[in-house]
Structure 1
Amino acid sequence: MATRRVIPITLIGDALRPFINPAHTQLERAGFMRMMVLGEPRLSEIVEKFKMRSYEVEVVPYVPEGVDDETAAQNEPLPISGTVYVRKLELIKP
Protein backbone atom coordinates (compact mmCIF):
# COMPACT_ATOMS: atom_id res chain seq x y z
CA MET A 1 0.00 0.00 0.00
CA ALA A 2 1.35 3.43 -0.97
CA THR A 3 1.95 5.98 1.75
CA ARG A 4 0.59 9.46 1.42
CA ARG A 5 3.03 12.30 1.26
CA VAL A 6 2.03 15.78 2.39
CA ILE A 7 3.66 18.70 0.64
CA PRO A 8 3.50 21.95 2.64
CA ILE A 9 2.13 24.88 0.66
CA THR A 10 2.99 28.52 1.24
CA LEU A 11 0.52 31.02 -0.15
CA ILE A 12 2.05 33.23 -2.84
CA GLY A 13 0.93 36.41 -1.11
CA ASP A 14 2.72 35.44 2.10
CA ALA A 15 5.91 34.39 0.31
CA LEU A 16 6.11 37.63 -1.70
CA ARG A 17 5.01 40.04 1.04
CA PRO A 18 8.56 41.39 1.69
CA PHE A 19 8.92 42.22 -2.03
CA ILE A 20 5.57 43.95 -2.55
CA ASN A 21 5.78 47.66 -3.26
CA PRO A 22 3.97 49.65 -0.51
CA ALA A 23 2.25 51.69 -3.24
CA HIS A 24 0.66 48.46 -4.52
CA THR A 25 -0.78 47.66 -1.10
CA GLN A 26 -2.13 51.18 -0.67
CA LEU A 27 -3.77 51.22 -4.11
CA GLU A 28 -5.20 47.73 -3.64
CA ARG A 29 -6.82 48.79 -0.36
CA ALA A 30 -8.31 51.80 -2.15
CA GLY A 31 -10.02 49.46 -4.62
CA PHE A 32 -7.55 49.59 -7.51
CA MET A 33 -6.60 46.51 -9.51
CA ARG A 34 -3.13 46.00 -10.95
CA MET A 35 -3.36 45.56 -14.72
CA MET A 36 0.08 45.56 -16.36
CA VAL A 37 3.59 46.99 -16.55
CA LEU A 38 4.19 48.98 -19.73
CA GLY A 39 6.66 51.41 -21.22
CA GLU A 40 6.08 54.40 -23.44
CA PRO A 41 4.46 54.94 -25.92
CA ARG A 42 1.98 52.15 -25.07
CA LEU A 43 1.69 53.33 -21.47
CA SER A 44 0.05 56.63 -22.48
CA GLU A 45 -2.24 54.85 -24.96
CA ILE A 46 -3.49 52.34 -22.39
CA VAL A 47 -4.03 55.04 -19.74
CA GLU A 48 -6.08 57.10 -22.20
CA LYS A 49 -8.19 54.07 -23.24
CA PHE A 50 -9.02 53.18 -19.64
CA LYS A 51 -9.96 56.79 -18.90
CA MET A 52 -12.25 56.85 -21.95
CA ARG A 53 -14.04 53.80 -20.53
CA SER A 54 -14.75 55.55 -17.19
CA TYR A 55 -11.89 54.07 -15.18
CA GLU A 56 -9.76 55.93 -12.68
CA VAL A 57 -6.11 55.24 -13.51
CA GLU A 58 -2.96 55.40 -11.37
CA VAL A 59 0.55 54.70 -12.67
CA VAL A 60 3.34 53.69 -10.29
CA PRO A 61 6.81 54.19 -11.83
CA TYR A 62 8.62 50.92 -12.48
CA VAL A 63 12.16 50.61 -11.10
CA PRO A 64 14.01 47.37 -11.90
CA GLU A 65 15.36 45.20 -9.07
CA GLY A 66 18.72 46.27 -7.71
CA VAL A 67 18.27 49.91 -8.75
CA ASP A 68 17.86 52.39 -5.92
CA ASP A 69 17.47 56.18 -6.05
CA GLU A 70 21.22 56.85 -5.85
CA THR A 71 22.05 54.37 -8.61
CA ALA A 72 19.31 55.77 -10.82
CA ALA A 73 20.57 59.34 -10.30
CA GLN A 74 24.15 58.42 -11.21
CA ASN A 75 23.30 56.37 -14.29
CA GLU A 76 21.48 57.32 -17.44
CA PRO A 77 17.75 57.93 -17.03
CA LEU A 78 15.65 54.78 -16.86
CA PRO A 79 13.22 54.14 -19.70
CA ILE A 80 9.82 55.59 -18.89
CA SER A 81 7.62 52.73 -17.74
CA GLY A 82 5.15 52.01 -14.99
CA THR A 83 2.60 49.68 -13.45
CA VAL A 84 -0.97 50.57 -14.39
CA TYR A 85 -3.69 50.34 -11.72
CA VAL A 86 -7.38 50.92 -12.49
CA ARG A 87 -10.72 51.10 -10.71
CA LYS A 88 -14.17 51.90 -12.01
CA LEU A 89 -15.24 55.48 -11.38
CA GLU A 90 -18.19 55.61 -9.02
CA LEU A 91 -20.85 57.87 -10.46
CA ILE A 92 -22.62 60.16 -8.02
CA LYS A 93 -26.26 59.17 -7.89
CA PRO A 94 -28.87 61.74 -6.81
Structure 2
Amino acid sequence: MNRIVIATAAIFLTTPLAMAGPVDNACIRSERGAGQQALCRCVQQVADQTLSRSDQRLAASFFRDPHRAQVVRMSKRDSDNAFWSRYKRFAGAAEAYCR
Protein backbone atom coordinates (compact mmCIF):
# COMPACT_ATOMS: atom_id res chain seq x y z
CA MET A 1 0.00 0.00 0.00
CA ASN A 2 2.76 2.46 0.92
CA ARG A 3 4.54 1.80 -2.38
CA ILE A 4 1.39 2.70 -4.30
CA VAL A 5 1.02 5.96 -2.39
CA ILE A 6 4.69 6.83 -2.91
CA ALA A 7 4.53 5.96 -6.62
CA THR A 8 1.36 8.01 -7.08
CA ALA A 9 2.88 10.99 -5.26
CA ALA A 10 6.05 10.75 -7.35
CA ILE A 11 4.06 10.74 -10.59
CA PHE A 12 1.90 13.65 -9.44
CA LEU A 13 4.85 15.75 -8.31
CA THR A 14 6.94 15.18 -11.43
CA THR A 15 4.26 15.41 -14.11
CA PRO A 16 3.65 18.92 -15.45
CA LEU A 17 0.06 20.04 -15.48
CA ALA A 18 -1.40 19.60 -18.93
CA MET A 19 -3.93 22.37 -18.63
CA ALA A 20 -3.40 25.75 -17.12
CA GLY A 21 -6.39 27.49 -15.64
CA PRO A 22 -7.96 30.73 -16.80
CA VAL A 23 -6.13 32.87 -14.25
CA ASP A 24 -2.77 31.32 -15.14
CA ASN A 25 -3.37 31.83 -18.86
CA ALA A 26 -4.45 35.44 -18.42
CA CYS A 27 -1.54 36.14 -16.08
CA ILE A 28 1.08 34.76 -18.46
CA ARG A 29 -0.38 36.74 -21.37
CA SER A 30 -0.39 39.97 -19.37
CA GLU A 31 2.43 42.52 -19.35
CA ARG A 32 3.30 41.83 -15.73
CA GLY A 33 3.02 38.07 -16.10
CA ALA A 34 5.42 37.71 -19.02
CA GLY A 35 8.37 35.68 -17.79
CA GLN A 36 6.66 35.02 -14.45
CA GLN A 37 5.34 31.50 -15.07
CA ALA A 38 6.01 30.32 -11.51
CA LEU A 39 4.14 33.28 -10.04
CA CYS A 40 1.22 32.84 -12.45
CA ARG A 41 1.08 29.11 -11.68
CA CYS A 42 1.03 29.88 -7.94
CA VAL A 43 -1.79 32.40 -8.35
CA GLN A 44 -3.75 29.78 -10.32
CA GLN A 45 -3.26 27.26 -7.51
CA VAL A 46 -4.74 29.74 -5.04
CA ALA A 47 -7.59 30.46 -7.48
CA ASP A 48 -8.30 26.72 -7.72
CA GLN A 49 -8.62 26.58 -3.94
CA THR A 50 -10.67 29.74 -3.42
CA LEU A 51 -12.71 30.54 -6.55
CA SER A 52 -15.22 28.63 -8.64
CA ARG A 53 -14.42 28.13 -12.31
CA SER A 54 -16.83 30.92 -13.32
CA ASP A 55 -15.26 33.25 -10.73
CA GLN A 56 -11.86 32.38 -12.18
CA ARG A 57 -13.00 33.32 -15.68
CA LEU A 58 -14.30 36.67 -14.44
CA ALA A 59 -11.08 37.32 -12.48
CA ALA A 60 -9.03 36.40 -15.56
CA SER A 61 -10.94 38.98 -17.58
CA PHE A 62 -9.49 41.67 -15.31
CA PHE A 63 -6.03 41.01 -16.76
CA ARG A 64 -7.31 41.92 -20.23
CA ASP A 65 -9.60 44.72 -19.12
CA PRO A 66 -8.64 46.27 -15.75
CA HIS A 67 -11.55 48.71 -16.03
CA ARG A 68 -13.92 45.75 -15.79
CA ALA A 69 -12.62 45.09 -12.27
CA GLN A 70 -13.58 48.63 -11.32
CA VAL A 71 -17.04 48.22 -12.84
CA VAL A 72 -17.62 44.99 -10.89
CA ARG A 73 -16.25 46.51 -7.68
CA MET A 74 -18.55 49.54 -7.94
CA SER A 75 -21.60 47.54 -9.04
CA LYS A 76 -24.76 47.60 -6.94
CA ARG A 77 -25.72 44.05 -7.97
CA ASP A 78 -25.74 41.51 -5.15
CA SER A 79 -24.01 38.90 -7.33
CA ASP A 80 -21.18 41.33 -8.14
CA ASN A 81 -20.82 42.26 -4.47
CA ALA A 82 -20.66 38.59 -3.50
CA PHE A 83 -18.07 37.94 -6.21
CA TRP A 84 -16.00 40.93 -5.09
CA SER A 85 -15.94 39.59 -1.54
CA ARG A 86 -14.67 36.21 -2.79
CA TYR A 87 -12.20 37.94 -5.10
CA LYS A 88 -10.73 39.99 -2.22
CA ARG A 89 -10.21 36.82 -0.18
CA PHE A 90 -8.53 35.20 -3.20
CA ALA A 91 -6.29 38.22 -3.80
CA GLY A 92 -5.23 38.35 -0.15
CA ALA A 93 -4.47 34.64 -0.10
CA ALA A 94 -2.53 34.83 -3.38
CA GLU A 95 -0.52 37.79 -2.10
CA ALA A 96 0.39 35.95 1.10
CA TYR A 97 1.06 32.55 -0.50
CA CYS A 98 2.78 33.52 -3.75
CA ARG A 99 5.43 35.95 -2.52
Give me the TM-score of the superposition, normalised by structure 1: 0.31
Which structure's relative contact order is higher, taking Cα pairs within 8 Å and 6+ residues apart? 1
Larger Rg: 1
Give me the TM-score of the superposition, normalised by structure 2: 0.30
Structure with the largest fraction of helix: 2
